[in-house]
Amino acid sequence: MAKVHPNVLPSPAERAAAGAAAAGGVEEEEATSLTVWRKSLLFNCRGYTVFDARGDLAFRVDSYDDEAEVVLMDPDGRPAFTVRRKRLSLSGEHWLIYAGEETRRPVYAVKRGGGGKSMARVTPCAGARAGAGASSYEVEGSYARRRCVVYDAERRAVAEVQPKEAVVGTDVFRLVVQPGVDVSLAMAVVVALDQLFGRPSLLRSWSSS
């Protein structure tokens, strides 16, 4: 059986960035590469287990039966973000991202579509603590195939979901996050994408099991 934790090879974008840095004589901070496993390490529990490039635990999600809310935690169990489903009569379903366990003021909303090639749009919520001038993001590609890219407002690729080398299926994949981007927020966006585009989404498969 192939290892779940990383045997990381650089992506084309990472190799290009490294080459540009070498050509310019500038030492660039490396991208963060995570391996995401759609499985909880706890017995009789559903969730995600996320490893860093050294194979150490980076994030986890452990839940028993809640199909409308996910809490993304650090390795010590401290909440980083809460992702919660919201249904609207006109615009359908979308997922809200809250800082920590606070669920009164969402910081971002993740919705389907956005026009053109966009499969999803991530927008800062009004009055959120994401900070003044927080960026919107567009997601292009196919989450179901684990091949999609998150772009910021200036069309810079800030995160990328990729298939995991030597792994069959889509329950194990890579998340590459560029320097300067909040890695925990990128992972929270992936959790929301899984609920919108997973086949089946992790939480909906829980509710039917």
Instruction: Provide DSSP, 20-50.
Output: HHHHHT--PPPPEEEEEESS-SSTT-EEEEE
**CA–CA separation, 22 vs 192, rounded Å?**
36
pTM: 0.79
In tens, the pLDDT along 169-204 reads: 889 999 999 999 999 999 999 999 998 887 655 554
CA 207 to chain centre: 22
Higher pLDDT, 149 or 22: 149
* Confidence check: pLDDT of 123 > 70: yes
- pLDDT in the model for residue 84: 92
For residue 178, give the DSSP letter: -
CATH number of 29-198: 2.40.160.200
**CA–CA separation, 191 vs 1, rounded Å?**
25
Q: Which residues pair with 134 in a beta bridge?
A: none
* Structure confidence at residue 17 as a pLDDT band (50, 70, 90): very low
